[in-house]
Structure 1
């Protein structure tokens, strides 16, 4: 776009951390910048995501705004948020109008006030949903209904799309599925052939929260060790604020005699490929996942993946061909699947090879970036619905 004034896209994201949807934001931003956008990312606080966004050519602003964490979904907290919302929305509206944005990209459902503010500011909006968890009907409706203010909605899986459109059917026409693009660091280390005296190394990369099923992995490890297997588990991840109790419970369980010395808590790990390269099996025992970036990372690392047979994970993995899917919440099923891989090196190698080939073709970052950029251009030009919105002439002066 040489010689043109670059259009500005304001991207709003609820977290300064670097996990699944945060990493996906980096790919979205990289695609938008490559497509000629001036990208301003607004975060609610400083954190490790900021320098990564700067590396990809974005402008980063820190601007406090409410994020719908679980703690806010209780009646009293939600009521207080609603009471404060008009002032917050008016403040965000003013910020958007002053930014000169041609479009707003709202990343996740947990920051709906930005959708309201963008509509009041008259700025076209693209919202990216990474949530497929089914909640109580009133809560689900409260989270999903604001998407009616978005011109286009990206769902990261068919499972996510089904939750959104099942809750608010009017979203069907404006919602499109774009599977995540997961970076491939390059050829992985060869999958090792274990000797009888070698430990069976299991790896789990995840936020430490109950729905991620980390406790299920600990119980599966107990069963494997009870069979006389020299199995160990490495856990990479930290908690959301408010879930410190869960980490304490996990650590207490790991300190009991049957697991003592077999579990390592690494905390947050920025680059996980080295840990995955050392793994014999990658575990994803979640009770629900809208997509499953960690599963794809395990596939790209050339490791056999054992995951729960739920939502997006069932879209990512083909059971018996590119990984193994097991009943969610069942330590017995998880242990049995791991044991089958430990006892059959050929099966493990076959799944790992097929998984890497699948991941490099289905979840490539180049295709993901291109699709997000195309949708962004469509929304900025037409509001996403096939005709230019009235009153948008001023945006054409910014390079449209």
Structure 2
């Protein structure tokens, strides 16, 4: 079975969700689905990069610029597009896309609506946002979470029923055989420089670990609001010659391959794509036991898990692996096998395709039952989402 799918996504840059879509949409097209995308954006350079890459892989992209959190003109464009093209499925990704794409899809009488939740966000604890998000989500026929950990988080923070989510992990494609570990105590962290990623915790842990491993170094790949603060912290901790800030790096494989160990010390991760990318490159991972990370990192076999924010536990884990190259290499090999066997892009694409087929099989029945909800839910989205500007 195949059909026409319109993906609606809000893009500010290319990170986990965007990399997932850059793999998923062309893969769905290759399976026979007629795939197109509407990209909501606010003029960020990374958004254009995303669109260009999708188009290079044969997926047409309509760029729609937002002027506010809920933009009536953007909503109208999506509605016109859905009415004109008559897709079988509208699939939304991230908050802005949900609030624009799900009501538009329902008003356009699209047979099946699918929504994927991708990440942890501080604003999800706000009662007004949670109420609005659940109202808009009620329009979707299929709810996808990228990890069981994220489904539990959404239940705790917003009041969703975790059992209603279909869990579909991100996938990864196999690269060439990775080089061996360097055999030196080198760490790497890849991600935006924002509070939830835990860079400050890692810097403090590195400073402590260097008391035992004076040759320990760290490369930080990424940019963001905390860059100057983190640079100052590194200097204050005496790490000026041990820590290198690389800025935004694409592709990240060279950074991962230079590392003996990749660290993901986040306070929240819907999935944790960096951990999977590191494993595919044959690198052991030290990660926080939060969100989707415990579903990726097999504790003691492909890496180590530590409580989020626990500097002492992170110091012990760093010393344990950085001081034992043989064990680190064994974990790296096991990690690559786990990544390719358990998290293949083929498996991810197959799961999404099956969800589309199942949703379409019952689409007409659902439409008759739920079409009366469309106008009231669209109004709820318009009124409440203005409070969540800047949300992902």
TM-score by length of 1: 0.82
Deviations 1:23-67 (A, max 9, x none): 111122022211222222111244211122113220011112378
1:232 to 197, 207, 217: 217
Match runs of 1:1-400 below 5 Å = 7-45=3-41, 46-65=47-66, 81=70, 89-111=75-97, 112-123=99-110, 124-133=112-121, 135-138=124-127, 139-165=129-155, 167-169=158-160, 172-173=163-164, 175-194=165-184, 200-239=185-224, 244=225, 246-256=226-236, 258-383=238-363, 387=365, 389=367
The 8 Å contact of residues 207 and 237 in structure 2, kept in 1 or not, is answered as no
The Cα RMSD (Å) is: 2.5
- Counterpart Cα distance in 2 of 1:325 and 1:161: 20
Relative to structure 1, the CA distance from residue 277 to residue 171 in structure 2 (aligned partners, 3 Å threshold; closer, same or farther) is closer
In structure 1, the gaps of 5 or more residues are 69-80, 195-199, 392-400
**2 CA distance for matches of 1:162 and 1:180?**
17
Q: Are the aligned partners of 2:130 and 2:159 in contact in 1 as well (CA < 8 Å)?
A: no
- Rounded Cα–Cα distance in structure 2 between residues aligned with 1:191 and 1:21: 28
Shift of 1:369: 1.1
Question: Structure 1 residues 257, 350: CA separation in 2 closer, same or farther (over 3 Å shift)?
Answer: closer
The DSSP-based 3-state class of the residue aligned with 2:10 is coil
* Higher mean C-alpha displacement, 158-167 vs 335-344: 158-167
Give, in whole Å, the separation in 2 of the partners of 1:169 and 1:43.
Answer: 26
**Distance apart, 1:390 and its partner CA:** 5.8
Measured against aligned partners, the alpha-carbon deviations of 1:229-260 in whole angstroms (never above 9, x if no partner) come to 21111111122xxxx2x222012222336011
TM-score, normalization by structure 2: 0.84
Superposition deviation, residue 132 in structure 1: 4.2
The answer to which structure, 1 or 2, has the higher relative contact order (CA under 8 A, 6+ apart) is: 2
Any gaps of 5 or more consecutive residues in structure 2?
Answer: 42-46, 370-392
Distance in 2, matches of 1:32 and 1:257, equals 48
- More deviation, 259-268/18-27: 259-268
Shift of 1:381: 4.5
- Judge conservation of contact 2:290–2:308 (CA < 8 Å) in 1: yes
2:38, 2:78 within 8 Å by CA — same for their partners in 1?
A: no
Count of aligned residue pairs for this structure pair: 359
Equivalent position of 1:71 in the other structure? none
Distance in 1 of aligned mates of 2:279 and 2:210: 25
